[in-house]
């Protein structure tokens, strides 16, 4: 039966390292507060005018090289981001232009931290049906230019970093494949994590008063998001494992979304997976939203943490609220 496998991956982060001490010079915070509550020690922030597509390009070049392909082999580009280069068109179109492959299908995914998990599933569906043979899935974010780096925004600003990750999915008849994905959303409480303006529901969409109020910055009710994560991640992990006849003991490596080390440690305890089988790099990158899973997965592969035939579990949650998981036979 036709399915899809990851033929190559790439990732890219900006050179500029911003430590917790750097942030403490900009706002009332401390290395101790940030590290204790989130595990984050440093993150990468772009310098100057750099968009999500600029970070995506080197990640994609690496993924294509790893797959032994060129952009001409792609049938479709899926781009997951909450920080598109421009409001419209989608960054998938900008990336397609940079890769010089006019004519192929493009799609932007607006599912925030769950964006890459959704993207893998969408690519897999197109490949399974035979509509596409090879699909590029990208997660890329530039958060730093959209954060309130004063004390007013400290609860959010310390969490996020910039970066990009990419995977090339291609058709296979073999067992090494994306086995299944579980995707969910519940928009009831969308306001607990959102960036409101400019907004089509407001007329005008943006005013000097809104700028003063900081309504163009992300707003978050941190504890509510934390509770969502530790409830939904175990649920969706159980769902994707049990409906494929697997248990957590079968998983060789879990790569959870990198939002908070405490969340990932708590979820690992709840589902009963040894911490040695959970890959975390939030300490170095912060939360890179749609880019966090492909960056972490590719680093894990490069470090030799994944070998052919391993069962790999990806799981994410985020704004929306959204959550999901992918189960992969590597
Ligand atoms: N530095 C220092 N103090 C800070 C701070 C910072 N960067 N941010 C907030 N504080 C303060 C608060 O103002 C509050 O002060 P008060 O007690 O005087 O009112 C205090 O620290 C505690 O704030 P609280 O929000 O209760 O902390 P918390 O223990 O819930 O931790 C998070 C905050 C954000 C780390 C935590 O809620 C979290 O990680 N939530 C999930 C967020 C997430 O994953 N988001 C991304 C989803 S994809």
pLDDT digits (tens, 9 = 90+) for 238-290: 999 999 999 999 999 999 999 999 999 999 999 999 999 999 999 999 999 99
Q: What is the mean pLDDT of residues 57-65?
A: 98
Are the C-beta atoms of 304 and 313 separated by less than 8 Å?
no
Q: What is the per-residue pLDDT across 225-241, written as a single tens digit (0 to 9) for each?
A: 999 999 999 999 999 99
Give the catalytic positions in this structure: 113, 257, 287
User: Is the peptide bond between 89 and the residue preceding it cis, with omega within 30 degrees of 0?
Assistant: yes
Fold: same for 3-174 and 179-329: yes
Are the C-beta atoms of 124 and 299 separated by less than 8 Å?
no
The CATH architecture one would assign to domain 179-329 is 3-Layer(aba) Sandwich (3.40)
What's the 222 CA to ligand 1 centre distance in angstroms?
6
Q: What is the per-residue pLDDT across 135-173, written as a single tens digit (0 to 9) for each?
A: 999 999 999 999 999 999 999 999 999 999 999 999 999
What's the 156 CA to ligand 1 centre distance in angstroms?
8
The helix/strand/coil state of 247 is coil
Question: Where in the chain does DSSP place strands (E)?
Answer: 3-12, 17-19, 42-44, 76-80, 105-109, 134-141, 163-172, 178-185, 193-194, 219-220, 253-256, 311-318, 322-329
CB 148 near ligand 1, within 6 Å: no
Instruction: At 9, list the tokens.
Output: 């991956």
Task: Please provide the average confidence, as pLDDT, over all residues in the chain.
Answer: 97
- Select 3-174's CATH number: 1.10.150.120, 3.40.47.10, 3.40.920.10, 2.30.30.60: 3.40.47.10
| All structural domains of the chain with their residue ranges | 3-174, 179-329
Tell me the percentage of the chain whose pLDDT exceeds 90. Answer: 100
What was the pLDDT predicted at 177?
98
CB 225 near ligand 1, within 6 Å: yes
Q: How many CB atoms lie within 10 A of CB 73?
A: 16
Q: What is the mean pLDDT of residues 285-304?
A: 98
Q: What is the mean pLDDT of residues 82-90?
A: 97
Residue of the CA atom closest to atom 3 of ligand 1: 29
Tell me the percentage of the chain whose pLDDT exceeds 70. Answer: 100
Nearest to 12 by CA among 68, 77, 61: 61
Q: How many CB atoms lie within 10 A of CB 199?
A: 15
Residue of the CA atom closest to atom 37 of ligand 1: 222
CB 77 near ligand 1, within 6 Å: no
């Amino acid at each position: 039966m036709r399915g899809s496998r990851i033929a190559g991956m790439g990732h890219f982060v900006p050179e500029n390292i911003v430590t917790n001490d750097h942030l403490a010079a900009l706002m009332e915070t401390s290395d101790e507060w940030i590290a204790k509550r989130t595990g984050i020690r440093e993150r990468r922030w772009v310098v100057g005018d750099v968009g999500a597509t600029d970070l995506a390009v080197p990640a994609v070049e690496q993924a294509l090289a790893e797959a032994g392909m060129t952009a001409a082999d792609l049938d479709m580009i899926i781009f997951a981001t909450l920080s598109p280069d421009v409001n419209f068109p989608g960054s998938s179109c900008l990336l397609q232009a940079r890769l010089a492959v006019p004519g192929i299908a493009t799609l932007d995914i607006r599912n925030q931290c769950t964006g890459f998990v959704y993207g893998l599933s969408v690519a897999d569906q197109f490949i399974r049906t035979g509509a596409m043979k090879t699909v590029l899935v990208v997660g890329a974010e530039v958060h730093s230019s959209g954060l309130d780096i004063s004390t007013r925004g400290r609860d959010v600003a310390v969490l996020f970093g910039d970066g990009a990750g990419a995977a090339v999915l291609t058709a296979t008849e073999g067992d090494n494949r994306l086995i299944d994905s579980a995707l969910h959303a519940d928009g009831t409480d969308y306001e607990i994590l959102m960036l409101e303006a400019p907004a089509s529901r407001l007329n005008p969409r943006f005013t000097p008063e809104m700028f003063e109020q900081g309504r163009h910055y992300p707003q978050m009710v941190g504890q509510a998001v934390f509770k969502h994560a530790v409830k939904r991640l175990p649920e969706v992990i159980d769902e994707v494992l049990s409906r494929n006849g697997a248990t957590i003991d079968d998983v060789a490596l879990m790569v959870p979304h990198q939002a908070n080390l405490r969340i990932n440690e708590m979820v690992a305890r709840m589902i009963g997976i040894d911490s040695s089988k959970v890959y975390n790099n939030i300490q170095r990158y912060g939360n890179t939203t749609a880019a966090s899973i492909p960056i972490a997965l590719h680093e894990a592969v490069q470090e030799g943490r994944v070998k052919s035939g391993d069962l790999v579990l990806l799981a994410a949650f985020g704004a929306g609220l959204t959550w999901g998981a992918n189960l992969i036979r590597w």
